[in-house]
Amino acid sequence: MKKKTAVILFNLGGPDSPQAVQPFLFNLFNDPAIIRLPNPFRWLLAKLISTRRAPVAREIYAKMGGRSPILPQTEAQARALEAELGEDFRVFIAMRYWHPFSDETVKAVKDWGAERIVLLPLYPQFSTTTTASSFADWHRAAARAGLTAPTAAIGCYNDEPGFVAAQTALLRDRLPEAEAKGMEAKTGVRILFSAHGLPKKIVTDGDPYQQQVERSVAAIRQQLGRDDLDTRICYQSRVGPLEWIGPSTDAEIARAAQEKRAIVVVPVAFVSEHSETLVELDIEYAELAHHNGAACYIRVPTVGTQPAFIAGLARLVRSATDGGAPRCGSSQPCGAAWRRCACAA
């Protein structure tokens, strides 16, 4: 017998107006998964950081029309996934730091009468700072609202075939232009797979994110079938005084540009366009590349609603079972060393 299945797409969220920027930042930095201090210290620090960073952040969002595009893009992904899954499935959105919050989505799911729930993060690579935080927030909201439908959670899908195929196709589409420019400059092409950064201490504490980013890149390289290509993995969007995993994307772009190479940047850990891609990569890092003499600078789009990616998400949903621990959608488990993984035994 078929069940009414609610699929919950999780994403970061983003401010929908200039006035929403500071409260969005406060919600971000008040998350115990981001700043690991007890209250009231975390609350006070989040208030301080969000107040200081808001003017700069407003300037960033002004370059995107005064608001984040992440919600409408996530809505497009939700509708595409709903169409792929067919009847008896309905796809909802829960954002972590701005509307719609988990509390709002839980109410909508309960009102719809869901008989089964599948939690699906729009983070291909698992991290305690993203997927785990969203799952914890969902379970808190569900418990408060008395939502008791059997729930399965997909922890990660860093090398899921649909995700890999979609990202590889987008990269392959942009390579000829870069290779032509690299040949003209007699310097060649360098492909930079850029992921959002993470403080190093979070990784050494057992967070599998960096390892999973590396698996994503390995899978894309294998499907691309071009062993001759020069590729690097790097990390962007560093904040604060902590030591972050590296190398940094801006340093790698500057290095490749100074070598006069044609640069191709692949946002391997992002599945929709937002400030890190549309401003940081497309404006700030593009200027850095051109200033340092790159033969060209090409940024590959995120997978968005690419059919292969949506089909991959649908396969993950269909394979999910009722209840139990978060399921791993990757080809191999993280292992005991990465004890913070949702799928760790």
Annotated binding site: 196, 276
CA-nearest of 81, 82, 93, 148 to 115 is: 148
State the Cα–Cα distance between residues 44 and 256, nearest whole angstrom. 41
With CA atoms as reference, report the closest residue to 271 among 301, 245, 316, 249: 301
DSSP string, 162-187: HHHHHHHHHHHHHHHHHHHHHHHHTS
> What type of residue sits at position 212?
Q
For residues 328 and 155, the answer to whether their CB atoms sit within 8 Å is yes
CA dist 153 and 167 (Å) reads 23
| In the block, residue with structure tokens 């919050």 | 101
How far is residue 312's CA from residue 266's CA, in Å, rounded to a whole number? 19
Q: How far apart are CA 46 and CA 164, in angstroms?
A: 36
Residues whose CB falls within 8 Å of the CB of residue 185, separated by 6 or more in sequence, listed in order: 260, 261, 262, 295
Annotated binding site for Fe(2+): 196, 276
SS3 18: helix
Q: Which residues contact 180 (CB under 8 A, 6 or more apart)?
A: none
Q: Is 44 helix (H, G, I), strand (E, B) or coil?
A: helix
How many angstroms separate the CA atoms of 248 and 226, rounded? 24
Run of H or E residues at 265: strand 262-267
Residue of 85, 88, 100, 84 whose CA lies nearest to 134: 100
Nearest to 115 by CA among 333, 323, 335, 295: 323
> Distance between CA 339 and CA 337 in Å, rounded?
6
